[in-house]
Amino acid sequence: MVQGGERAALVNDPYHPDDDRGCLRLVLAVPLTLLTLITAYFCWTVLTIQPSGPWDEHAYAGIVLSCVLTVAAAGAAIGLWLLPSVRRVMRWWWMGPALLLGLVAGACWVMGG
């Protein structure tokens, strides 16, 4: 007969053989982290490219390209997280940085660089 305390210990045992969330979380953290780092890099380029003046079309084109790539990388990270098997083990806050960086780049894109 299992007591209440013993039952809770069996349910909360992190080393239960049927519990694969730890390993799966580690495996899924790799692509999500890489996509977030790519998003951060392109968002950094959006914020650091300074045009020399209104005639500097290449700098403005670079800003728009960086905005598009930031939003695309953030969308890929969010799309990966939306898969049911990923959402089961990865909490919502894993998408926070990618979502925030995508929103910053989207705002810069809408405002014209």
Helices 57-81, 21-48: axis angle to 10 degrees equals 170
The string of pLDDT tens digits covering residues 28-68 is 788 999 999 999 999 999 999 998 888 989 999 999 999 99
The string of pLDDT tens digits covering residues 13-33 is 555 555 556 677 777 788 999
Which pLDDT does position 23 carry in this prediction?
Answer: 72
Q: What is the DSSP letter of 95?
A: G
The string of pLDDT tens digits covering residues 63-97 is 999 999 999 999 999 999 888 878 877 888 888 99
Which pLDDT does position 38 carry in this prediction?
Answer: 97
Which pLDDT does position 19 carry in this prediction?
Answer: 55
> End-to-end CA distance of the chain, in Å?
68
Q: Could you give the CA distance from residue 98 to residue 102 in angstroms, rounded to a whole number? A: 6
Alpha-carbon distances, residue 13 vs 10, 74, 97 (angstroms): 5, 35, 31
Q: Could you give the CA distance from residue 5 to residue 111 in angstroms, rounded to a whole number? A: 58
Cα 42 from chain centre: 13
